[in-house]
Amino acid sequence: MPELPSFLALAVALLYALALVCVYRILLTYRTAQGAIAWIMGLLGLPYLAVPLFLLFGRNRFSGYVRARRLGDKSLRPLLNRLEQGPETISAPQQGDTGRDLQVLSRLARQPFTGGNQFTLLKDGEATFEALFEAMEDARHYILLEFYIVRSDRVGQRIKTILKRKLAQGVQVWFLYDDIGSVWLPRKYLRELSAAGANVASFGDGNIRRRRFQINFRNHRKLLVCDGTVGFVGGINLGDEYLGCAMDQEPWRDTHCRVEGPAALGLQLAWLEDWNWASDDTPSLNWEPQRAGDQEALILPTGPADPHETCTLFFLNCINNAQSRIWIASPYFVPDFQVINALQLAALRGVDVRILIPEKSDNPLIRMAAYSYLVQASQAGIGIYRYQPGFMHQKVVLVDDRYAAIGTANLDNRSMRLNFEISALTTAPSFVGAVDTMLTEDLAQCQLMTARDYRDRSLLFRISCRAVRLLAPLL
């Protein structure tokens, strides 16, 4: 019995030692003072609770991927060099002096702008899946898939049927999914694909030793590439809900786009880096660019393995360089102080700032947090519009009449600091005009929120919104 107190004392000492190690790591790597102070107070005050939480949720860099990228770049760098030196690469888009902000995005992306592309806007799940199925059926050499959520419902089964048929025809298939987003995907689904000859990998499980407690990071990308000539990217995962046909489901509003031409190789390069991390494999693919049109485009991958907060800088660059308007559609609106301040400044200098968010959300906490920004937004002239017909899940950015981006990134901390995201951006007037028309139609089905929508609610509701907003880094 006398040994028990000494054992407890040793355990407490070790716990505090581990807490101090966590504090040391925070001091070396923190990105915001507020977050660092909160973690340090928790680690020193409640180490038995804060230490395991920090190990699971406190990291802001996906360290295993960072190391893998440094090693993997030795094999991937020649591919990037080849893309940068290709005949369709352009040093800067045809935007005159205003193209400098696009050159910044190219440096953030670690990819060049390319010409000779053709972008097609896909405004809903039905159009997207029809285009996806057609492209896979037309594939002659290989199909690359990478999705955050894959379901074994009607859409998922149709995907599996097509892939098995293409495998039987000699087409190679590489299938990458996120193990957290696809947590309910039956193992049988994956075993059937593997048995048919597909190369299947999970973004997390395949490198569980290197990942070590980094479950807070997600691969949120949604892309498909066929033969290196045509690709798809946007907000749509592989599931029936994106068709609005799941049981007891509200109408689903989402957007994807088809990318043809050299920019498809940019999607392929992003996929290859993720596949290399997940499987330690670098498959041989087509890297010969093929013209498909006359549009200039950029593929912008972002994530917690980048040397900068690439996604945050992407949004800040778009907002700060907008001259007449900045319209952003995002289902999750929980911006940090940098982004909300940039939006305020843009509105104050006369830019038409509009944020489209859903009235009905799949995350009630994020819906509540969004209310807490209404006073700041209204005072500066920012328009926050709630889409009424159903759940709006699209991620779209429109800057002036100069360029538009379709991708997977939301206006929240998870996309900006924790998720691997990807966007496709083009300066093509026809595509920018199509996005303008699409968002204008969406805005016609929105309700403009005002400060009164927050101030006229009960005190308990307002306090709850502000309290939830404190959880923004974890939402």
Which residues are identified as catalytic?
Answer: 220, 222, 227, 393, 395, 400
Q: Is 167 exposed, middle or buried (0-12, 13-18, 19+ CB in 10 A)?
A: middle
Using the 8-state DSSP alphabet, how is residue 445 labeled?
T
Using the 8-state DSSP alphabet, how is residue 444 labeled?
T
Beta-sheet strands, E only, within 252-294: 252-253, 256-260
Quote the CA–CA distance of 60 and 36 in Å, as a whole number: 11
Residue 205 CB contacts under 8 Å (≥ 6 apart), including other chains: 179
Using the 8-state DSSP alphabet, how is residue 182 labeled?
T
Q: What is the dihedral of CA 318, 319, 320, 322, to 10 degrees?
A: 80
Tokens matching residue 3: 């040994």
Pairing of strands 142-147, 172-177: parallel
H or E element: which one contains 421?
A: strand 419-426
Q: Is 226 helix (H, G, I), strand (E, B) or coil?
A: strand
Are the CB atoms for 204 and 180 separated by under 8 Å? yes
Are the CB atoms for 108 and 310 separated by under 8 Å? yes
Quote the CA–CA distance of 334 and 59 in Å, as a whole number: 19
Q: 252: which strand partners?
A: 391
Pairing of strands 252-253, 89-90: unpaired
Quote the CA–CA distance of 423 and 406 in Å, as a whole number: 6
Q: Is 296 helix (H, G, I), strand (E, B) or coil?
A: strand
Q: Is 202 helix (H, G, I), strand (E, B) or coil?
A: strand
Quote the CA–CA distance of 475 and 361 in Å, as a whole number: 13
Nearest to residue 112, comparing CAs of 77, 84, 150, 136?
Answer: 84
Quote the CA–CA distance of 110 and 270 in Å, as a whole number: 10
Using the 8-state DSSP alphabet, how is residue 209 labeled?
H
Phi/psi region, residue 156 (left: phi>0; alpha: psi -120 to 50; beta: rest), is: alpha
b/e 389-426 (16+ beta carbons within 10 angstroms → b): ebbbbbbbbbbbebbbbbbbbbbbbbbbbbbbbbbbbb
**CB half-sphere exposure, 26, CA atoms < 13 A:** 25
